[in-house]
Amino acid sequence: MKIEQIYTGCIAHAAYYIENNGEVAIFDPLRDVIPYIEKAKNDNATIKYVFETHFHADFVSGHLDLAQKTGAQIVYGPTAKPEFESIVAVDNQEFKVGDYTVRALHTPGHTMESTTYLIIDENGVNHAIITGDTLFIGDVGRPDLAQHIIPGLTEEILAGYLYDSLRNKIMPLSDDLIVYPNHGAGSACGKNMSKETTDTLGNQKRTNYALDTDLSKKEFIKVVLSGLTPPPAYFPKNVLLNINGYENLDEVLLRGDIAISSSEFEDFIDHKEILILDCRPASEFSEGFIPHSLNIGLESNFAMWVGELIPDLNHKIALVCPEGKEEEALIRLSRIGFDNSIGYLEGGFKAWLKANKEINTIQRISATELSNRLNTEKPLIIDVRKKSEFESEHIENVVNIPLNELENRILEFPKKEAFIIHCAGGYRSMIASSILKRHDITNFVDVIGGMGEISKTNIPLSKFVCPTSML
């Protein structure tokens, strides 16, 4: 059986490509659909169906653009109410892809329309399940997202539905089925996802806490809802885009593919309606950047942090990119619904320097320098990692302000006393540094390499919870 997982690490997303006898089905595609179309063309095949496991919250799906470009039919599971032409399957409805069969199993819980697709080969043998956010490797989808869309639907009600779906629809299936989830570690759609992106259902029955047969429904609801952090602010907005529709990606890219000269770009520095987003690596950004710009590097979870830190999907964005990465930045922004990029700095930051424009810098120190300072003084240190990372291991007597809370806790940062910030590897602390600079806070230094380098020194580390506020 030909099933290909197409994994996109920056948003921890998995789409699936199935082909047989010249027909193709795509499951949960990203918005940039050309790779799927080219793959089908290489197989001399036609994309017949676009299957959606649910209305996604963490990305804008490519179902509409893919259907428009190929004529494929969009398929949702029971109870879905999309605002565009599609097939809303009934439970156990089957679809033919060549000689393969795709059976829709309604598995509400993550959302009410959540559906798992059972893949049956040409011999009638059950081969795999494409589970969306119903079942991950090591986890299940969080049941607290759809409540923001449907009035009266609580997370407890959804968790109860999820319990029933897992026990009645998923767990009775054969242990040798391959589980193909929609996300892996790093996604905010679950809390305990494995770095592995496939597994057998049998192994998940043995190792996944949510499939423990000893759990009562009441106990399941409690354990599934415990430890959930607030979802990113852009999640409900992405759900609505996936339900109601969105602008064609070709038009979004055309609008954003505008080179802007340094002299024009300079007008954006103090412009309240335009955000300068610098996508260069932390090491480059620290050495020089346009005042008031926000750094979120393309090299890591770019889209996730854009969605987490920029509250308005409609905010106008002017990009500073590594040269040649402009289109990549536009596509990755579009994956989470940020469609209002107005252009990019022509010639990149080198052009800005050549034009002798004003720059800011971020002062950085090595972990060794930090160790030496701790031998003679007791500086204020702020760790911007997630609470769970902090509690796992941290420098003794430091303050934890997670990056996603930084804007709301900006008044906790001293304006005169010097302090030091760090994260796990330097990516998030540089984002934090750019935010602090935007608030005219300059009395700090950043640790190069973060906790990864700190752990190589003799700096004492603790696993006990330390203070979380400086006030």
Q: For residue 289, what is the DSSP state? A: B
Distance CA 204, CA 360 (A): 50
Residue 233 pLDDT: 85
Measured over the CA atoms of residue 369, residue 371, residue 376 and residue 382, the dihedral's sign is: positive
Q: Please indicate whether the domains covering 3-236 and 248-350 agree at the CATH topology level.
A: no
Name the packing angle between helices 155-165 and 217-225 (round to 10°): 120
The residue ranges of the chain whose pLDDT is under 70 are 147-150, 464-471
Q: Assign domain 3-236 to a CATH class.
A: alpha beta
Residue 147 pLDDT: 61
Q: How far is CA 382 from the centre of its chain?
A: 25
Distance CA 14, CA 26 (A): 11
Residues 6+ apart with CB under 8 A from 282: 295, 297, 426, 427, 429, 430
The residue with tokens 């989470």 is: 336
Residue ranges per domain, the chain? 3-236, 248-350, 364-462
Residue 140 pLDDT: 97
Report how far apart, in Å, the C-alpha atoms of 36 and of each of 33, 240, 446, 454 are. 6, 24, 41, 42
Distance CA 404, CA 393 (A): 19
238-257 confidence digits (pLDDT tens)? 999 999 999 999 999 999 99
Which CATH number among 3.40.50.720, 2.30.40.10, 3.40.250.10, 3.30.450.70 corresponds to the domain 248-350?
3.40.250.10
Residue 227 pLDDT: 86
278-328 confidence digits (pLDDT tens)? 999 999 999 999 999 999 999 999 999 999 999 899 999 999 999 999 999
- Classify domain 364-462 at the CATH topology level: Oxidized Rhodanese; domain 1 (3.40.250)
Average pLDDT of the chain to the nearest whole number: 95
Buried b vs exposed e over 169-191: b needs ≥16 C-beta within 10 Å? bbeebeeebbbbbbbbbbbbbbb
CB atoms within 10 A of CB 119: 24
The kind and range of the H/E element at 115 are strand 115-120
Q: Tokens at residue 367, please?
A: 């972990």
Residue 466 pLDDT: 46
